[in-house]
Amino acid sequence: MARLIDLDKAVNEGLIVFFDTNVLIEGFQQRSGMGSTRDLIIEIARNKRFTTELVAWEFFHPLDVKKEEIKERKKWLEDNQIHILQKIPSGYIQTFLSLLKLPNSRGDAIDAALAAHSIAHNSPCVVAIG
């Protein structure tokens, strides 16, 4: 079951953190200085920073962005050791389809896919949203 938890608790408990597109964009925009999103990313252990393939797609391919910035975004993700999940968790499709049927669901397909990944993941994790 999803619940809201404080980032400090997630960090102290060593939970895996999935980043959504907005958090990645904010972090990328703060790359040359410090900011609350940049601070958030730094607090999380390097082996606990993840995103999904669809979030990465959205982050790497925004509208009206030059090819050079796309290369910078890819390098930034790599430099900050935010890993793109390589494996779809068991139960992901069933969870996504369940979310699809909920009449009060909001957001886009990428948000739903990120939620399904986090719900189907086999260990406790959190989603950092912006």
- Full set of structural domains in the chain with CATH: 7-128 (3.40.50.1010)
Element (H, E) at 41: helix 36-43
In a 10 Å sphere around its CB, with 0-12 CB exposed, 13-18 middle and 19+ buried, how is residue 85 labelled?
Answer: middle
> Residues of the chain with pLDDT > 70: what percent?
94
Q: Inform me whether the pLDDT recorded for 126 exceeds 90.
A: no
Q: How far apart are CA 100 and CA 87, in angstroms?
A: 21
pLDDT at 1: 47
In the sheet that holds 49-51, the strands lie side by side as 83-84, 49-51, 16-19, 125-128
Residue count of the chain, please give it. 130
| pTM, two decimal places | 0.83
